[in-house]
Each structure stands twice: as C-alpha cells, then as structure tokens.
Amino acid sequence: MGEILDRNFKGIQHTGIPVSNLGNSETFYNKLGFKTVMASTFKHSGNTGQVRMLEKNSVIIELYQLPEPDLDEIRNRSDGHIDHIAFDVDNIEEVFDELKNADYNIVENSPVKLDFWDKGCSYFNILGPDNERLEFNQRH
C-alpha cells in the first residue's frame, strides 16, 4: 500500500461535520458563501436523518443531523469532533476585517503569525453554530 494510494489521492473530498440544527448550520455556511449542492436523507437506527453538501470553490462540507432520539449523540459528544477546517485565503487581513464587520464570532483578536512553511503563515478562527472552528489561513 502507498503507491496505489499516492497515485489515486486527489485531496480533500469533503469534511463531515455533525450538527445539532441543520437549518442553523446551513444558514451559517451559506452566509460564508457556501452553496448547498446536495440535500438528502439517510437512515440511522431505523430513523431518518438529514444531510446537506455545501460547496465554495473546490471545498465541500458535509453537514449532517442525526434523527431524534439519536441527536443527543451530537449534542453530548465528548470526542470525534473535527478540531478545525482550514480555508486557504489570499489576504488574511481583508478576510479578518470582513468577517469581523459581519459580526462573526472570531476567536483571536487579530490574525496570528506562525513560522510555518517557507515564509510563514497567518491565521484566525471563527466559531460555527456548534462551536466548530473554521480557520482562515494565508501562506506568505
């Protein structure tokens, strides 16, 4: 294994995020410019859950909501959450200002600079409806 995986690996296909209120989360991501490109249902423990795929450029996010009574699995989860999704941006300062002016819940007071990559990078995070962290990152 390795050669086949290397030859077939294309990058991130999507990132799945369990949510407690699909409507609130879908609205949140739509405001960030993501478009809903697929809506469906699925069976979980004999009940019907809901899923949405949202896309912005080549980034796809899967939002899914388990059906009642299993929705408490998401509400009470202590592990298995995604730490963050990082979006590549061209101008971190402009994006920071735009999201700050739009009243998003920004974690940092300003973009943080790190000595990553060859020339460093800058990032900041916002919080989504279920406290998922969305990182905006610019490589310098």
Domains assigned to the chain: 8-80 (3.10.180.10), 83-140 (3.10.180.10)
Q: What is the predicted pLDDT for the residue at 132? A: 85
Q: Whole-model pTM above 0.75?
A: no
The yes-or-no verdict on residue 19 having pLDDT over 60 is yes
Q: What is the predicted pLDDT for the residue at 4? A: 62
Cα angle 44, 36, 31; round to 5: 115
Strands 121-127 and 84-88: unpaired
- As to burial, measured by CB atoms within 10 angstroms (0-12 exposed, 13-18 middle, 19+ buried), residue 52 is buried
Give me the percent of the chain exceeding a pLDDT of 90: 40
Q: What is the predicted pLDDT for the residue at 56? A: 95
For range 63-91, the mean pLDDT: 76
* Residue 73 host element (H or E): helix 72-75
* Residue 23 host element (H or E): helix 22-31
Residues 6+ apart with CB under 8 A from 50: 22, 39, 40, 41, 42, 64, 65
Q: In whole numbers, what is the pLDDT of the chain averaged over residues?
A: 86
pLDDT per residue as tens digits for the range 103-120: 899 999 999 998 888 898
For the chain, the first-to-last Cα distance in angstroms comes to 34
